[in-house]
Amino acid sequence: MRNLYNFFALTFAFIGLFSPIPASALDGETLLEQIDRKMQPVSYEMYRKLINIEPDGSKKEYLLYTVKKDQDKMVALFLSPASEKGRATLRLGENMWLYIPNVGKPIRITSLQSVVGGVFNNSDILNLDYSVEYTVKTIEENDQRYFLDLKAKNATVAYDQLKMEVDKKTLLPMVIECFASSGMLIKTLHYDKIQDFGNGMIRPSVLETDSPLYKGYKSVMIFAKLQEREFADEVFTLNYLSKVEELR
């Protein structure tokens, strides 16, 4: 009888090694916040190049200057191409606007729309910290990776669920699958090319995405000059969108 008991005890222990771990066991929220800080400071400025690649291989590129403050304020200014120069987008929490020079007032936009076309939507371009928008439901792990299952905190978040693969040593995300509330895969994000941005900021410099909804299409985001910087609240207002260029 004792041998039988030991057999079942070992069997359940073995199964437990491969079962999802409740987020509380590893303090999932703290882990997600650590991942956020590995990716960027709370307030920062950076430059990004966005490249949309068509099925025929043709490309369209955009250069953006981006500033962020705290957990819910972000502005992105278009520097090129010439046809887009001077346009700017503002995000305050879940509210987003597009400013176009010589047009009356900023236009309301939504998270699932895209001001640049391609696979990236406005939520990807004006992305907040993951810990702001998502709750960690479960964590699985092996020797090298954490596998986080994230659930949106409310219905306004662009993706209802994320499955995030994180490198244990660096706490940097590697692959993120984005799902709709129906369980349908919307897109997959692939982080690549770890780079030292200075002041201890070592993170991926390239983000690629593909989607089963856009077969043959791919979008790439390349990060540069990412550094901590503080900004006045005035920068993140509709009236300031025409003056964002002055911050550079």
Token reading at 223: 């990060």
Q: For residue 167, what are the β-bridge partners? A: 145
- Taking alpha carbons only, the member of 57, 211, 41, 42 closest to residue 120 is 211
Q: Determine the pLDDT at residue 104.
A: 76
Enumerate residue ranges in the chain where pLDDT < 50: 1-22
Long-range CB pairs of 202-206, under 8 A, 24+ apart, other chains included: 202/170, 203/38, 203/39, 203/40, 203/172, 204/172, 204/173
CA dist., res. 36 & res. 150, Å (int): 14
Q: Determine the pLDDT at residue 86.
A: 96
CA dist., res. 178 & res. 188, Å (int): 6
Q: Determine the pLDDT at residue 16.
A: 39
Question: How many C-beta neighbours within 10 Å does residue 87 have?
Answer: 20
**Contact (Cβ atoms closer than 8 angstroms) between residue 46 and residue 76:** no
What is the tens place of the pLDDT at every residue in 155-189?
999 999 999 999 999 999 999 999 999 999 999 99
CA dist., res. 96 & res. 91, Å (int): 4
| Residue range 21-247 in CATH 2.50.20.10 | yes
- Taking alpha carbons only, the member of 192, 189, 191, 167 closest to residue 177 is 189
Q: Determine the pLDDT at residue 42.
A: 95
Q: Is 7 exposed, middle or buried (0-12, 13-18, 19+ CB in 10 A)?
A: exposed
CA dist., res. 162 & res. 130, Å (int): 10
Q: Do you find a cis peptide bond into 81, omega within 30 degrees of 0?
A: yes
Angle at 213 between CA 210 and CA 214, to 5 degrees: 60
Domain ranges of the chain: 21-247
Q: Determine the pLDDT at residue 27.
A: 85
**Contact (Cβ atoms closer than 8 angstroms) between residue 108 and residue 91:** no
- Taking alpha carbons only, the member of 247, 119, 237 closest to residue 178 is 119
Strand ranges for the chain from DSSP E = 21-22, 44-53, 59-69, 73-80, 88-92, 95-99, 107-109, 134-141, 145-152, 161-167, 173-179, 185-196, 202-210, 218-228
Q: For residue 135, what are the β-bridge partners? A: 151
Q: Determine the pLDDT at residue 209.
A: 96
